[in-house]
Amino acid sequence: MADSNNIKTVTDANFQSEIADNGGLSMVDFWASWCGPCRLIAPFVEQLADEYAGKVTVGKLDVDANQRTAAQFGVRSIPTVLFFKDGKLVDQVVGAVPKPALDRKIQEHLAA
């Protein structure tokens, strides 16, 4: 799934401990293996995970295997990247976007 050691595999079972209880900024990529646009942004997510290691928690959640969490946050279209600050949902990006768009969101929420 992810080539970066800085990406956490997020599931229905560990979402609370990995993201909701996490202080600071988290970015979670909601994806599926069959989704072409998800594969398109995956390298960007991995690069950002490496660039912001120690500053931002980055996770990937497979929506096919973890439908409860996807439904909890109203994820109906993938890829969807959700941003959490101190465990609270603060922003989202839907669709395949270029890396700078995700980077801007990270910068915006790190500065807030």
Instruction: Assign residue 90 the CATH number of its domain.
Output: 3.40.30.10
Question: Residue 2 falls within a domain, yes or no?
Answer: no
Residue pair 96/87 in contact (Cβ under 8 Å)? The answer is no
If one counts the domains in the chain, the total is 1
Question: Residue 85 falls within a domain, yes or no?
Answer: yes
What are the residue numbers of the active site? 35, 38
**Range of 94's domain?**
7-111
Confidence of residue 3 (pLDDT cuts 50, 70, 90): low
Q: Count CB-CB contacts under 10 A for residue 102.
A: 20
pLDDT tens, residue by residue, 57-92: 999 999 999 999 999 999 999 999 999 999 999 999
pLDDT tens, residue by residue, 41-62: 999 999 999 999 999 999 999 9
What interhelical angle do 99-111 and 36-51 show, nearest 10?
40
Residues in the chain: 112
Question: Residue 102 falls within a domain, yes or no?
Answer: yes
Question: Residue 17 falls within a domain, yes or no?
Answer: yes
